């Protein structure tokens, strides 16, 4: 009823006067008002301010127009269309699929991404192997989403198919309900699934319901044509100069490498091993200005939080410091947990300081992590290769493509510091990004540690 009232009001207003084109309004007021979803795949407010793939893109678009960006976040996809039709927002940048029902009210711009749509179930609950097998099972989806329309189209062939629509829930919560056994099945797009499966490793894809579903920005019909045209020009240019690829790598680059067993072990070790060292990570992080969870992610990648760890090459301790690094930092006992963690924090902070001032976050952190692993001189060599290839040495996505070339004679013979197993720091960074993301989620949703630590299987074991 609210949507019908808004549409009726908009139609009546339209008969009285013709407002100026929305692009003119944006340029005159100096503000671009954008409605988006509060979601990991769109927009989030964190300790360092707003972030998210949609935010990054639309902020760049606002900068291109020379205006300020005003974000109108909503909790549910069903709230987006009313914001547009009421005039509260000039456009929608919220990971919207182009559907028939939405096209009745919105014009969509140039698709800047495509996603696959999956039916999700929990391992051990019985995998549906055909659409016939989902009939009669509990399915819950977001109200107002494109997934509802997809299920409605399937119902034409499977009349007994039923589902529940929830207007007060986001994809992450739906996937959590499946993981916790509260609902049997849900529908989600690839980006959401790739992120959430790191938190719920028992989630699985049962069926692909749609492939290459286009995602685009939405605009009001009529007066927004000029704004849509400018947005299309911007997105096409963003694809050409690599901005789209950079944003995708920033938020999804780590998600493609998923290790089911490794993720379950990480979550188990978070409960059993990390409590022994958490205060040390927090102390070292505060001392050296590094998020303690990032330090912990480094420590897990290096040693799986084992203070007595020793590699075949002689690196030791939780942070797996070499003898040369320990001497450089003035450390005596690499196996002492506090010494190792503090030394690792200092060493990472020093690598970060060496990264060029022109490198912005989060690329700066990814390059510092790679330097922690392979040495900063090889990062300098990779920057040279990127420059020779005409790329941007300040972007991690370009550096990550150049680093593996350091294992090829045609490239390492041309740079000052020579051969390196350049694929290793790329994998290293991706793993740490995954662990760091899981840690941020776990610490934001944690219960008191002591309530559920598996004493018998972990704490009682030797720390080796």
Query: Which residues are identified as catalytic?
Result: 302
311 close to 290: Cβ distance less than 8 angstroms: no
Stated length of the chain:
464
Distance of CA 160 to the CA centre of its chain: 37
Residue 326, C-beta contacts closer than 8 angstroms, at least 6 positions apart: 332, 334, 343
The 10 Å Cβ neighbour count of residue 212 is 10
Structure tokens, 126: 């019985």
Residue 353, C-beta contacts closer than 8 angstroms, at least 6 positions apart: none
360 close to 379: Cβ distance less than 8 angstroms: no
């Amino acid at each position: 009823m609210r949507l019908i009232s808004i549409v009726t009001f908009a139609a009546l207003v339209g008969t009285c006067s013709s407002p100026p084109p929305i692009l003119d309004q944006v340029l005159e007021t100096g503000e671009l008002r954008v409605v988006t979803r509060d979601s990991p795949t769109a927009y989030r407010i964190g300790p360092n301010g707003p972030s998210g793939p949609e935010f990054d893109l639309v902020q760049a678009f606002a900068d291109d127009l020379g205006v300020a960006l005003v974000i109108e976040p909503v909790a549910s996809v069903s709230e987006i269309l009313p914001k547009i039709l009421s005039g509260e927002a000039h456009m929608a940048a919220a990971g919207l699929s182009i559907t028939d029902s939405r096209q009745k009210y919105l014009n969509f711009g140039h698709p800047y991404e495509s996603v696959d749509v999956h039916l999700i179930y929990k391992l051990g609950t019985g995998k549906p192997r055909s659409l016939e097998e989902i009939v009669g099972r509990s399915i819950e989806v977001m109200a107002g989403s494109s997934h509802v329309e997809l299920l409605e189209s399937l119902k034409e062939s499977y009349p007994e198919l039923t589902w529940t629509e929830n207007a007060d829930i986001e994809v992450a919560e739906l996937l959590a309900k499946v993981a916790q056994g509260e609902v049997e099945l849900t529908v989600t797009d690839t980006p959401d699934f790739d992120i959430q499966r790191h938190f719920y490793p028992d989630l699985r894809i049962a069926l692909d319901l749609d492939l290459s579903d286009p995602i685009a920005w939405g605009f009001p019909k009529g007066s927004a044509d000029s704004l849509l045209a400018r947005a299309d020009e911007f997105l096409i240019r963003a694809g050409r100069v690599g901005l789209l690829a950079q944003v995708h790598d920033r938020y999804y680059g780590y998600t493609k490498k998923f290790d089911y067993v490794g993720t379950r072990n990480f979550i188990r070790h978070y409960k059993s091993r990390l409590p022994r060292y958490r205060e040390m990570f927090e102390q070292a992080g505060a001392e050296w200005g590094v998020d303690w969870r990032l330090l912990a992610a480094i420590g897990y990648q290096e040693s799986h939080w084992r203070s007595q760890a020793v590699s075949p090459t002689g690196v030791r301790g939780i942070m797996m410091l070499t003898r040369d690094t320990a001497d450089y930092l003035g450390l005596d006992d690499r196996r002492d947990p506090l010494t190792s963690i503090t030394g690792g924090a200092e060493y990472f902070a020093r690598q970060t300081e060496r990264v060029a001032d022109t490198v912005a976050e989060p690329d700066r952190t990814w390059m510092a992590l790679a330097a922690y692993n392979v040495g900063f001189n090889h990062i300098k060599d990779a920057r040279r290769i990127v420059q020779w290839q005409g790329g941007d040495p300040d972007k991690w996505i370009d550096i990550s493509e150049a680093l593996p070339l350091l294992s090829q004679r045609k490239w390492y013979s041309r740079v000052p510091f020579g051969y390196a197993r350049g694929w290793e720091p790329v994998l290293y960074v991706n793993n740490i990004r995954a662990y760091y993301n899981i840690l941020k989620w776990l610490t934001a949703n944690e219960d008191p540690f002591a309530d559920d630590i598996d004493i018998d299987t972990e704490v009682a074991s030797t720390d080796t």
